[in-house]
Structure 1
Amino acid sequence: MVDVDAVATELYGLRPEEFTAARDAHVAEARKAGERDTAKRIAALRKPTLAVWAVNLLARADADQARRLLELGRELRGAHRTLAGEDLRKLSHQQHVVIAAMATEARRLAGDAGQEVSEGVQREVEQILRTVLADPDAAEAWARGVLAKAPPQVVGFAELAPVDVPGAGPPRKRRKAEVEVEAKEAEAEAKETDTRAEQAQARARAEADRTHREAERTGEALATAESARARARAGLGALDERITDLRAQLDRARQERDGLAAAAEEADRRHQQAAREAKAARAEARKAQRALDAAIGGTPRTRR
């Protein structure tokens, strides 16, 4: 029986470009085994983005580090619920330091795995880690290295409602003020993050425009080269045909020459034979003439 959890663990450890082929292979295996429901569950597994894959890679590489981040998330959620302003300040600072270090480590791990990660993707990793701190369900999936997609973003744990703490008394107002400050700081940080993201998008659009123009120029150059190649191939084909015709003519001329040479050789042989026969005939004629002259009285006759 195909273990879907084991398959998910395997798939989310692969690089994104390897995910789909491996998933489809497992789907085919489950179908072949007659496990249609299992095949559907595997087919529903989503291919992770590069940032999600890098985050999973981080959790798989260092379980202790993942556990410490989850503990930090629990402490932050607890501090927000109890309005513990001082704790929030300390934990928020720790959060920024830890997440920045972990995002850098994720980028390094991805590079070691043969996958380059840009600064923009690294910032996505940071955002996912911040969300993991606030979302226990996402945190659980991430800790197992099977996070399928980036969870919805949260800012400053705003979704966590504060609860009353027994014995808190008057200091509660001070804590509320501290939380408001923290919330404003978180909001400012979120705006700064959005600004950085917009700047990154602008740079990405500019780079996309540049590569698009370069692709157009390259396409034009390719079209010109293909046209030149077509003309060259056409000319080469014509020359090949001409060479073929000339070779055929040469073969016919050689055959004719061989025939004429044989005829000339035969004519030479016959000429020599005729010359020998003519010479013999003249000798016989002289001999016959002498015999005739002797027969008619021994008086030689003048040859005419």
Structure 2
Amino acid sequence: MDADDVADELYALPPSEFIAARDARVAEARRAEDADAAARIARLRRPSLAAWASNLLVRGARTEAAKLPELGQALREAHRTLDPEQFRELSHQQHRVVAALSRRAGELAAEAGQPVSETVLHEVERTLHAVLADPDAAEEWARGRLVKTLEAPVGFAGMTPESAAAPATRRGAPAAPPAREGGTPSRERARDRERARERKRTVDRARSAAEEAEAEADRRQRELDRAEQARQASTARAAEATAHVKDLETRLHEARTAQREAQAQADKDTTTVREADRAARQARKAADTAAAGLRRLSGSEEAGEETGEKAPGRRRGGG
């Protein structure tokens, strides 16, 4: 399994589908005994909505997105050479391009079934400004696997919507710094550097807190996914057991019905046996009586025959 291909596939999905799809891919890699791919995929983090919408531009608006790093390079060159006129022109172009790409990201998100808010689109714009300001950020964005909003380097003027190049007194010359009340320029620069450092520390703390919150959200999502899988499995087992109980109840009802019918037939047959037994005894008794009568009659007849033969002889002997 190619972990890079899987990563491209996962980061194209809406964030709500990311965790389940990632875990399924991890399980698939483990079944294939590809431990390296399983470990790499398991480390992939779910993107924020703004990061996902920014990734959509890399995939769904390649032509428009390709212009952004080129514009960023031109802006950085103008900043390096202190060409205010060119910088001002490029800054206007920057705002148009960023606004157009932000709108396109919103359209792509809606087409993917996950509309995003203006707040999310504002974070997309922050990422695009970071891409303009920082070549490393541009390279990271171009991979289409952002997990959080990118931030422009602190102190790099002209890379945010609020900045703009100041007009110069002549072409190629930097504008004069604005007058400050109180303090020397070196002290002011020191305070500016300290403020910039403090802003960076604040951003770093906020980024760390956001990463921790994202990690906690991922952990909770995994717990929810596991609980949902367990619920589905137990629900399926309960449904199977319910069906089995219903089948047993049906068979028990049928068995009880058969038992009642068999008992009724047995009772009926018992009555028939009793009546037949009584009739047989009566018939036997009658037969015995008839036999006894026959024997008596047979004995009387034999006795009569014997008596009738002897009587005439006696009469003859007497005469």
1:150 aligned residue: 148
Q: Which of 91, 94, 97 is residue 93 of structure 2 equivalent to? A: 91
TM-score normalised according to structure 2 size: 0.50
Separation (CA, whole Å) in 2 of partners of 1:243 and 1:31? 54
Distance verdict in 2 for CA 1:261–1:103, change over 3 Å: same
2:51 aligned residue: 52
5 Å matches for 1:103-142? 103-111=105-113, 116-119=114-117, 121-142=120-141
Q: Which of 147, 157, 160 is residue 156 of structure 2 equivalent to? A: 160
Task: Find out whether 1:265 has 2:276 as its counterpart.
Answer: yes
Query: Is the contact made by 2:26 and 2:38 (CA closer than 8 Å) also made in structure 1?
Result: no
Q: What secondary structure sits across from 2:175 in the alignment?
A: helix
Distance verdict in 2 for CA 1:107–1:19, change over 3 Å: same
5 Å matches for 1:110-259? 110-111=112-113, 116-119=114-117, 121-147=120-146, 149-154=147-152, 159-161=155-157, 168=171, 172-173=175-176, 250=260, 255=266, 257-259=268-270
Q: Which of 281, 293, 296 is residue 292 of structure 2 equivalent to? A: 281
Amino acid at match of 1:100: S
Q: Which of 22, 32, 37 is residue 19 of structure 1 equivalent to? A: 22
Amino acid at match of 1:278: T
Separation (CA, whole Å) in 2 of partners of 1:28 and 1:294? 114
RMSD of equivalent CA atoms: 4.8
Residue 160 of structure 1 and its aligned partner are, at CA, apart by 0.9
Amino acid at match of 1:150: K
Separation (CA, whole Å) in 1 of partners of 2:2 and 2:255? 70
Q: After superposition, give the CA deviation of every residue in 1:272-304 in whole Å (9 maximum; x if it has no partner).
A: 233233234324434544554666679xxxxxx
Distance verdict in 2 for CA 1:10–1:29, change over 3 Å: farther
1:102 aligned residue: 104
1:217 aligned residue: none
TM-score normalised according to structure 1 size: 0.52
Query: Is the contact made by 1:12 and 1:19 (CA closer than 8 Å) also made in structure 2?
Result: no
2:202 aligned residue: none
Is there any run of 5+ residues in structure 1 with no aligned partner, and where?
Answer: 177-232, 299-304
Query: Is the contact made by 1:57 and 1:110 (CA closer than 8 Å) also made in structure 2?
Result: no
Separation (CA, whole Å) in 2 of partners of 1:166 and 1:41? 56
Residue 256 of structure 1 and its aligned partner are, at CA, apart by 5.4
Query: Is the contact made by 1:55 and 1:106 (CA closer than 8 Å) also made in structure 2?
Result: no
Distance verdict in 2 for CA 1:243–1:25, change over 3 Å: closer
Residue 102 of structure 1 and its aligned partner are, at CA, apart by 1.8
Distance verdict in 2 for CA 1:43–1:175, change over 3 Å: farther
Which stretch of structure 1 is more off in the superposition, 57-66 or 275-284?
275-284
Q: After superposition, give the CA deviation of every residue in 1:105-155 in whole Å (9 maximum; x if it has no partner).
A: 3214423xxxx33436555444433443333322212222232x223444x
Query: Is the contact made by 2:22 and 2:42 (CA closer than 8 Å) also made in structure 1?
Result: no
Separation (CA, whole Å) in 2 of partners of 1:42 and 1:276? 101
Amino acid at match of 1:106: L
Is there any run of 5+ residues in structure 2 with no aligned partner, and where?
Answer: 159-164, 180-241, 310-319
Query: Is the contact made by 1:80 and 1:160 (CA closer than 8 Å) also made in structure 2?
Result: no
Q: After superposition, give the CA deviation of every residue in 1:197-219 in whole Å (9 maximum; x if it has no partner).
A: xxxxxxxxxxxxxxxxxxxxxxx
